[in-house]
Amino acid sequence: MNAETVERAPRRYGMVIDLDRCSGCGACMVACSAENNVPPAHPQATERTGITLLRVVQVKDAASRGVAFIPMMCQQCGDDTPCMTVCPQQAVEVDKLTGVVEQMPQRCLGCRYCMTACPFQARFFNWWDPEWPAGMETTLNPGAAPRMRGVVEKCDFCQSRMHAAEDKAAMEGSREFEYTPACVEACPTRAIVFGDLNDPESDVSRQARNSFRFLERLGTGPKVYYRSRRPWLRTLASRVGAPPKKENGNG
Amino acid sequence: MELTQPHSHNPASEIARQKRAEVVGGGHSFGSMTDKIAAIVLTSKTPIGWFAGFGLAFTLMALGLGSIGALLFLGTGVWGVNVPVGWGFAIINFVWWIGIGHAGTLISAILLLLRQQWRMSISRFAEAMTLFAVACALLFPILHTGRPWLAAYWLLPYPNTMALMPQFRSPLLWDVFAVSTYGTVSLLFWYVGLIPDFGNLRDKAKGFARYIYGFLSLGWRGSAIHWHRYETASLLLAGLATPLVLSVHTVVSFDFSVSVIPGWHATIFPPYFVAGAIYSGFAMVLTIAIPLRKFYGLEDFITMRHLQNMAKVMLATGLIVAYGYAMEAFYGWYSANQYERYMIWNRMTGPYWWAYAALIFCNGLMPQTLWFKKLRSNVSFLFFMSIIVNIGMWLERFVIVVTSLHRDFLPSSWGMYVPTVFDWALFVGTIGLFSTLLFLFIRFLPMIAIFEMRTILPATKEPSPEGTAVQS
């Protein structure tokens, strides 16, 4: 698709996550796995070789005795996306019409260069053949293709939902559509807001103005924003923490 | 030709004779030297030690093949790689083997251009070692991918109308160009160098081997025009190979340095990697040369001067590598970047401190012993040092790959890397493959360039007692 064939203005999808609202219930993780046909963990999988496109991370602050939960997923870097430039297969592309960093498993060799280049470690690898317990295949989401062994995957703001919404709008003769990613829909505290950052009137744009991003100084321009009133949480985003007592933390 | 004075009355000639004597000893004539080297190949009695060594190497290779089978059938999950440490043994071993593959071309190309005569007896097997090391190295990036059956041809830069693959900004693709060019030029260089010796073996061999060496010698008859073309081809290939010695590891270092990960994102990487590669390459040449000369009684051809010179190259490149370590630590502090600072601190005091400490011991402290001539002249010590350097350089790649990835930016994604039995089996398997190829090479091809060695025999340039100069 090139710019001439597109009638609507390019969007820049982004998210704002209110950390003060997140209760760490993990509903977003479950919804994400179900929506994206993530297979159950392989019997030999460790806590570091599972596939969790969205992880809820627990953080603590000793001084204020504060606890918070941070949903982490692909931060959808917008500028000099580190994973995109290193991919030898052009399996990673930033969609010019939505700003979403897309992952195309069909092209992926599985060299895992994108995984090592990602400063957020938000990319996951299919270490084994995906297998579902008997009968569970029938519950798979027909909109999201399961990934084969040996390829990388990550959060793509539920492209399956976007395509479904786009198709529905097209059937009705329109090019305008709205959609909501699974995690946003599943969050019981409405901690996640999703929308077009290019639209100054959108909720996501307004909330993004008073928020912060992780690893902002790396200059990769993430489109996932976080909000909190707690000062320690706001400064956490650019701080190296003390090594966790137990390796692997709570990821 | 003008007759020269007998050498005993000419001081310059006397010095030249002494210098040559150091790179070839034992008072060999053309015939005795040719026979001695060719006999290793042409003998019908293969030493029992060869069978023992080959058997061991082949067993190790089979172990590696088993590991590859498990990898292909079960998936990358059999390895120890995980989410923060997405690159593990495969990349460590790839860089290690490629580094080892540097010495051959350096010895045969750069030292040829610099007219270093001491290169002659070690250049042939150093080149062979380069080729085998590159073959081992090439296994890793392909097996490392999740879908090796596609990687083998998807990475080739064939023209495609979709303009999709390959993506030229990726350093991984630069690797494909760098390593394949290096491999090709090294193979050509090695083969061209072998042609005159194939002719030699063809003339000496009996039976079926005669036809094989005859085929391989490509019709070599040793005429003046053949020698002329041989010299031209050697020089051209040396000219081509010289920049490649520097470019290969420079490009390999880009895999790391273009990334944003602390510990990888460093401009010092290219020279630091190239020096490290030459360092480990010479160490591996010593590791092979010392037992070889002992086993086959080649002390006259691989003399103490060769061993000492290689030790000096190791000392020089070892110092550059040590400087690299010092600079990494200095810039970790001087950058005032908290991630860089934490990276170097974590390397020194984190869970992998033992690897960093062992690395500094092997590559920083131990090479300093090579300042002493007494130790440089001790063959057993040199062999021990070469093993230490090989271990040190492997640890360097381990430290760079693992300690940079396992704790990068966000503590929530930190983790540990523990290689599995399949990782080890594949690594050991490539050592087996390397040794197997080397054993076959020693048995079937002349490991020392016979015709080149003739040019440095005293008889070549010294006048005969009757006063007639002998031409090479």
* Partner-chain contact B86 A129, CB within 8 Å: no
The residue of chain B with its CA nearest to that of A57 is B412
pLDDT of residue B215: 92
* CA B220 to chain CA centroid, nearest Å: 29
pLDDT of residue B209: 86
Q: Which residue has the higher pLDDT, A167 or B37?
A: A167
If pLDDT is split at 50, 70 and 90, which confidence band does A169 have? very high
pLDDT tens column, B130-175: 889 999 998 998 999 999 888 777 767 666 665 666 788 889 888 8
* Partner-chain contact A247 B414, CB within 8 Å: yes
pLDDT of residue B460: 59
Instruction: Say yes or no: B411 contacts chain A, CB-CB below 8 A.
Output: yes
In a domain, B325, yes or no: yes
Please give the structure tokens belonging to residue A57: 């991370």
* % of chain B residues with pLDDT over 90: 42
* Partner-chain contact A82 B77, CB within 8 Å: no
The residue of chain B with its CA nearest to that of A87 is B170
Among A80-84, A237-241, B112-116, the range scoring the smallest mean pLDDT is A237-241
- Asked whether the CA dihedral B335, B339, B341, B344 is positive or negative, the reply is negative
Residue B246 is part of a domain; what is its CATH number? 1.20.1630.10
Phi and psi of B146, rounded to 5°? -70, -30
* % of chain A residues with pLDDT over 90: 59
Alpha-carbon gap, residue B8 to B23, rounded angstroms: 20
If pLDDT is split at 50, 70 and 90, which confidence band does B120 have? confident
The domain total for chain B is: 1
Question: In chain B, which residues have their Cβ closer than 8 Å to the Cβ of A113?
Answer: 170, 172, 255
Rounded to a whole number, what is the distance in Å from the CA of B249 to chain A's nearest CA? Answer: 18
Instruction: Say yes or no: A243 contacts chain B, CB-CB below 8 A.
Output: yes
In a domain, B468, yes or no: no
pLDDT of residue B468: 45
Which of B74, B81, B83, B401 should be substituted to probe chain A, the one whose Cβ sees the most A Cβ atoms within 10 Å? B83
pLDDT of residue A8: 65
Question: In chain A, which residues have their Cβ closer than 8 Å to the Cβ of B150?
Answer: 109
pLDDT tens column, B285-336: 899 889 988 888 777 788 888 888 889 999 999 999 999 999 999 988 888 8
Alpha-carbon gap, residue A129 to A126, rounded angstroms: 7
CB within 8 Å of A17: residues ≥ 6 apart: A70, A71, A191, A192, A193, A224, A225, A226, A227
Give me the residues of A, 109-168, that contact B with CB < 8 A: 109-113, 115-117, 119-121, 123-129, 148-152
The residue of chain A with its CA nearest to that of B145 is A111
The residue of chain B with its CA nearest to that of A151 is B146
Question: In chain A, which residues have their Cβ closer than 8 Å to the Cβ of B254?
Answer: none
Q: Could you tell me where the DSSP H helices lie in B399-470?
A: 404-406, 421-444, 450-455, 458-461
CB count in 10 Å sphere of residue A196: 20
Q: Whats the size of chain A, residue-wise? A: 251
CB within 8 Å of A127: residues ≥ 6 apart: A42, A45, A49, A149, B75, B76, B77
Alpha-carbon gap, residue A21 to A230, rounded angstroms: 12
* Partner-chain contact A46 B82, CB within 8 Å: yes
B240-257 mean pLDDT: 90
Question: In chain B, which residues have their Cβ closer than 8 Å to the Cβ of A57?
Answer: 412
If pLDDT is split at 50, 70 and 90, which confidence band does B453 have? confident
Among A146-150, A227-231, B110-114, B181-185, the range scoring the smallest mean pLDDT is B110-114
Question: In chain A, which residues have their Cβ closer than 8 Å to the Cβ of B149?
Answer: none
For residue B92, give the nearest of B303, B302, B298, B395 by alpha carbon: B395
pLDDT of residue A249: 40
B431-445 mean pLDDT: 91
Rounded to a whole number, what is the distance in Å from the CA of A55 to chain B's nearest CA? Answer: 10
* Cα-only R_g, chain A: 18
CB count in 10 Å sphere of residue B384: 15
**Enclosing domain of residue B363:** 17-153+165-461
In a domain, B307, yes or no: yes
In a domain, B8, yes or no: no
pLDDT tens column, A108-138: 989 999 999 999 999 999 999 999 999 888 8
Q: Is the pLDDT of residue A106 over 60?
A: yes
pLDDT tens column, B388-412: 999 999 999 999 999 999 998 888 8
In this structure, which amino acid lies at residue A210? N
Q: Is the pLDDT of residue B352 over 60?
A: yes
pLDDT of residue A238: 64
Least CB–CB distance from A109: residue in B81, B147, B408: B147
pLDDT of residue B24: 65
Domain map (residue ranges) of chain A? 10-236
Please give the structure tokens belonging to residue B42: 């042409």
* % of chain B residues with pLDDT over 70: 88
**Contact (CB, 8 A) for B446 and B197:** yes
Instruction: Say yes or no: B169 contacts chain A, CB-CB below 8 A.
Output: yes
Give me the residues of B, 309-328, that contact A with CB < 8 A: none
Identify the DSSP state of A55.
E
pLDDT of residue B208: 86
The residue of chain B with its CA nearest to that of A60 is B412
Phi and psi of B285, rounded to 5°? -60, -40
Instruction: Quickly tell me which residue has 């963990």 as its tokens.
Output: A41
Rounded to a whole number, what is the distance in Å from the CA of B432 to chain A's nearest CA? Answer: 25
ipTM over 0.95: no
The β-bridge partners of B261 are: none
Instruction: Say yes or no: B172 contacts chain A, CB-CB below 8 A.
Output: yes
Least CB–CB distance from B75: residue in A85, A150, A250: A150
A168-187 mean pLDDT: 92
**Contact (CB, 8 A) for A126 and A150:** yes
* Partner-chain contact B146 A220, CB within 8 Å: no
User: Strand, coil or helix: what is A125?
Assistant: strand
* Partner-chain contact A86 B170, CB within 8 Å: yes
Please give the structure tokens belonging to residue B48: 């029992």
**Contact (CB, 8 A) for B450 and B39:** no
Question: In chain A, which residues have their Cβ closer than 8 Å to the Cβ of B411?
Answer: 240-244, 249
Q: Per CATH, the architecture of A10-236 is what?
A: 2-Layer Sandwich (3.30)
Rounded to a whole number, what is the distance in Å from the CA of B157 to chain A's nearest CA? Answer: 10
pLDDT tens column, A195-245: 999 999 999 999 998 899 988 888 888 999 999 998 888 887 766 544 444
Question: In chain B, which residues have their Cβ closer than 8 Å to the Cβ of A22?
Answer: none
User: Strand, coil or helix: what is B177?
Assistant: helix
B3-22 mean pLDDT: 52
If pLDDT is split at 50, 70 and 90, which confidence band does A25 have? very high
pLDDT of residue B137: 92
For residue B321, give the nearest of B382, B352, B362 by alpha carbon: B362
Q: Which residue has the higher pLDDT, B241 or A181?
A: A181
Give me the residues of A, 85-104, that contact B with CB < 8 A: 85-90
Q: Is the pLDDT of residue B377 over 60?
A: yes
The overall average pLDDT reported for chain A is 87
Please give the structure tokens belonging to residue B365: 């402290």
Please give the structure tokens belonging to residue A242: 């003390």
The residue of chain A with its CA nearest to that of B167 is A88
* Partner-chain contact B170 A59, CB within 8 Å: no
CA distances from A52 to A115, A192, B54, B259 (A): 14, 18, 47, 24
pLDDT of residue A194: 95
pLDDT of residue A1: 47
Q: Is the pLDDT of residue B429 over 60?
A: yes
B232-240 mean pLDDT: 89
Which of A72, A90, A109 should be substituted to probe chain B, the one whose Cβ sees the most B Cβ atoms within 10 Å? A109
Q: Is the pLDDT of residue B467 over 50?
A: no
If pLDDT is split at 50, 70 and 90, which confidence band does B19 have? low
pLDDT of residue A226: 94
pLDDT of residue A10: 86
